[in-house]
Chains A and B, each alone.
Chain A
Amino acid sequence: MNEGHSRALFPDMTSGRWSLAVLVVLALAAFPLVESNQYILSVFVTTMILLVMNMSWNFILGVAGVWNFGQLAVYALGGYGAGILMLHTGLPPVLDVVVGGLIGAAVSVLMAVPTLRLFGIYTSLLTFAFAEIVQYLILNDGSGLTGGSYGFPSVKGLYSFLSPVASMHAYYWTLLGVIVASTVAIALVTRSRLGIALRAIRDAPAFAAARGVSPLRYRILAFGLSGFLAGIAGALYLCFEQSIDPSIMGLTPMSLDVTMLVIGGLGTIFGPAIGTTIVTVVETVLVNHPGVQLTVVGIFLLVIVVFVPGGIVGLVGKVRARLSAWAEEGEEEAEEPEATEGVAPAGGTAGALDPIAIHDTTGAPTDVAP
């Protein structure tokens, strides 16, 4: 990859870190060749599907700062849409997945329109209400189109022509490819005019609007993009599980996903991957103690939000900044604040959880409760 271009895309990435990232991807790609345990591989694949979904949510929640809590409905509808096509038409399965993504984008834009008048907590209530309605409609669907609460009738999936072991590998590599591609795509979009506009609207809506950045246009675009990725994730879920049911929506899956995003670092590029991995490890280790499992996840969430506002990505960035500032202290003391800024993490705008300069000036020191 072109060094100059890559540095513009990820200003934080040195060639050493690039090689580390490539190594990690290569190691992950080689993993199924050495691991023959199908259960472990399937855990990896489902985690990666969830990661695609979390990346799409991170884009709308962290980068665009729209508190959309209906993403799981978009995810599910993408899956159901692809499933209905797969069952009733002879389209190639890959096309079904793409159409699933398009359905996700369409649903997401549909959901975006009423939220344009709203802000903050009201957006989350409206989108959550939307998701609940979708779940109830599917649960109580008697028409046989979605299978209702019993789940969708079995579909073939993407790789029905392969043996079970080979198809597991195929799904694994497909998902890895989708993740790498969407990471690059999201990074590109985040650095583009669209991404800058979204962050401006997130951090200072009035200023952004006054500068001619249309919240309407950019929010709808953000919803569409994020919905497309969520729809793809839903369709891939359907293909891999060969079915889908309404239990992938609702309060519990949503709280897990939010935890993953917040732990990793909202609005960052690598936050979703880190958060999804950590929560999945906790879940897998404590799989026999459902109560303890979610208690631990809840405590994680609480501690991270209260003590580590930027998530783990933000924490790493801060520690690194502190260290390099400390190292440079002796050399050039006057330049310290600039030096700290230079090493801030890549996507590490640390999402909506970061205190913002503009708002700091309005907050008088008396606000800090004793």
Chain B
Amino acid sequence: MTDLVGILVTTVILGSIYGLVAIGMTLIYGTLRILDMSQGSMVMIGSFVGWGILVSAHWNPVLAIVFAFAATFVLGMMTQLVSVQPLMGRRKAIDFEMVTFITTFAVAMILENVALEVFGPQQRNVTPVVSGGVNVYHGVNLPYQSIAMAAISILLMGGLGLFLGKTRWGMAIRAVAQDLDAARLMGVPVSKLYPVTMGLASSLAGVAGVFLGAQFFAYPQAGDLPLLEALIVVVFGGLGSLPGTVYAAYVIGLIQATTEVFLGTTWSLPILYGVILFVLIFRPQGLLGKPSEARL
């Protein structure tokens, strides 16, 4: 029973944080048709912003989240302008996905190594956004930090849903995702929309970074693992499907929590990759993705 409660609690926490990082990737893939490899670096930047504000400056945790959001929003917009916008002319070429995969990867490499040069390789402790915890069940301790992490992730995911569903900009993003040419004909300023989309997605990863930094550490490679996990989630959920991503985040969280309890942490990633191999072989479009025509 303790195991079961532990697994469920971990599932909710892991799933929420994966969802937050992965939903940005899905949003970008849905609108721009690119797999943004710089999302991991945004998590890392978020961790460092969290460290700077919580540890160096001793400011309010809310400020850490706000600053991380703003910093990664700007960085995400810049990433789009530098690595994707110049290539939009080749959007219909067969290799567009791969070319942008490489350029965003290059941005990730640059960000990671600039961080390495500026902050050095050491791991920095980030103080939790909120301290303390509550005992939910015999032996299952739940830190407030984790509750805040899950709550804010769910809030942000819900907020993103509202933004996409109700606001002018959100509807424009969805219009572009559905039919670029029609959206353009209706007067959607596509070239302004793309950077905003990527900024928004990156800022979600940045906020996740503040929490992940406290969970683990802030260091230049802090984004690698979240990136790999987010990749697994988006493939599992189906590239470009927002609801699919959210479901997949919790399913992947459940698989990981179960693996950690029964087999140990070293096995969680290999097992997740095994799941992904299985999914790609038998259901390549993922949980809720639509089969794309660009496949044999």
A binds B: yes
- B181 within 8 Å of A by Cβ? yes
**B191: chain A residues within 8 A (beta carbon):** 369-370
Taking the complex as formed, is A129 at the interface, i.e. its CB lies under 8 A from any CB of chain B? yes
Q: Is A14 an interface residue (CB 8 A)?
A: no
A284 at the interface (CB under 8 A from B): no
Indicate if A175 sits at the interface (CB-CB under 8 A): no
Contact of B235 among A125, A205, A215, A306 (CB under 8 A): A125
B266 at the interface (CB under 8 A from A): yes
Whether B97 and A120, one on each chain, are in contact in the complex, defined by CB atoms closer than 8 angstroms, is yes
Does A88 lie at the interface of the complex (its beta carbon under 8 Å from any beta carbon of B)? no
Decide yes or no whether A21 CB sits under 8 A from chain B: no
In the complex, residue of chain A having the shortest beta-carbon distance to the beta carbon of B110:
A298
Please measure, in the bound complex, the distance between the C-alpha atom of A137 and the C-alpha atom of B294, giving whole angstroms. Answer: 33
Q: Is B295 an interface residue (CB 8 A)?
A: yes
Contact of A118 with B109 at beta-carbon distance under 8 Å, contacts A125-B231, A129-B276, A356-B93 already known? no
Contact of B284 among A118, A289, A301 (CB under 8 A): A118
Q: Does chain A have a CB within 8 A of B171?
A: no
Q: What residues of chain B lie closer than 8 Å to A366, measured between beta carbons?
A: 181, 184
Decide if A306 touches B86 in the complex (CB within 8 Å). Answer: yes
The residues in A between 102 and 122 inclusive whose CB is less than 8 angstroms from any CB of B are 114, 116-122
Complex Cα spacing A292 to B113, Å: 7
Residues of A within 8 A of B98 (CB): 67, 120-121, 124, 352
Q: Is B107 an interface residue (CB 8 A)?
A: yes
A353 at the interface (CB under 8 A from B): yes
Q: How many residues of A contact B (CB 8 A)?
A: 58
Report the minimal beta-carbon distance from A111 to chain B, rounded to whole angstroms.
10
Separation of A87 and B109 alpha carbons in the complex (Å)? 38
* Distance in Å: Cβ of B45 to nearest Cβ of chain A: 15
Complex contact A129–B277 (CB within 8 A)? yes
Which B residue's beta carbon lies closest to that of A294?
B113
Any A CB within 8 A of the CB of B132: no
Inter-chain CA distance A137–B102, complex, in Å, is 27
Considering only residues 214-264 of chain B, those with a C-beta below 8 Å from chain A are 220, 224, 228, 231-232, 235, 239
Question: Bound state CA distance, A363 and B106, in angstroms?
Answer: 26
Contact present for A297 and B109 (CB under 8 Å): yes
Report if B85 contacts A (CB, 8 A): yes
For residue A299, CB closer than 8 A to chain B, the reply is yes
Q: Which residues of chain B in 101-125 are interfacial with respect to chain A, using CB atoms and an 8 Å cutoff?
A: 101-103, 105-110, 112-118
The B-contacting residues of A in range 329-365, CB under 8 angstroms, are: 352-353, 355-356, 359, 362-364
User: What residues of B have a CB within 8 angstroms of the CB of A67 in the complex?
Assistant: 98
A301 contacts across to B, CB distance below 8 A: 102-103, 105-106, 109
CB distance from B123 to the nearest CB of A (A): 16
A132 partner residues in chain B, CB cutoff 8 A: 228, 269-270, 273
Given A302-B107, A366-B184, A370-B191; A122-B295 close (CB under 8 Å): yes
Chain B binding surface SS class = helix
B286, closest chain A residue (CB): A122
What residues of A have a CB within 8 angstroms of the CB of B276 in the complex? 125-126, 129
Q: CB-nearest residue of chain A relative to B268? A: A136
Residues from chain B with Cβ under 8 Å of A307 in the complex: 86
- Rounded to whole Å, the gap between the CB of B294 and the closest CB of chain A is 5
Asked whether A295 lies within 8 Å of B114 as measured between CB atoms, the reply is yes
Q: B280 contacts the other chain (Cβ, under 8 Å)?
A: yes
The interface bits of chain A over 260-303 (1 if a CB of B lies within 8 angstroms of the residue's CB, else 0) are 00100000000000000000000000000111111101110110
Is B87 in the interface zone, CB < 8 Å from A?
A: yes
**A369: contacting residue among B92, B108, B190, B281, CB under 8 A:** B190
How far, in angstroms, from A366 to B194 measured CA to CA in the complex? 16
A117 touches B281 (CB 8 A): yes
B273 touches A129 (CB 8 A): yes
A116, B114: Cα distance in complex, Å: 38
Question: What chain A residues lie within 8 Å of B269 (beta carbons)?
Answer: 132, 136
CA distance A125 to B235 in the complex (A): 8
Using Cβ atoms and an 8 Å threshold, which residues of chain B touch A205? 296
Known: A67-B98, A126-B277, A290-B116. A136 touches B296 (CB 8 A): no
Residues of A within 8 Å of B97, CB to CB, are 120-121
Binding site for B on A (CB under 8 A): 65, 67, 114, 116-122, 124-126, 129-130, 132-133, 136-137, 140, 203, 205, 209, 215, 251, 255, 258-259, 262, 289-295, 297-299, 301-302, 305-307, 309, 352-353, 355-356, 359, 362-364, 366-370
Interface pairs A-B: 10 shortest CB-CB:
A291-B117, A298-B109, A363-B92, A291-B116, A298-B110, A369-B88, A294-B113, A301-B106, A302-B106, A119-B295
Q: Give 13 pairs: A residue, B residue, CB < 8 Å, sorted on A.
A: A117-B295, A119-B296, A121-B101, A122-B280, A133-B277, A291-B115, A291-B117, A293-B113, A305-B102, A352-B94, A367-B89, A367-B92, A369-B88
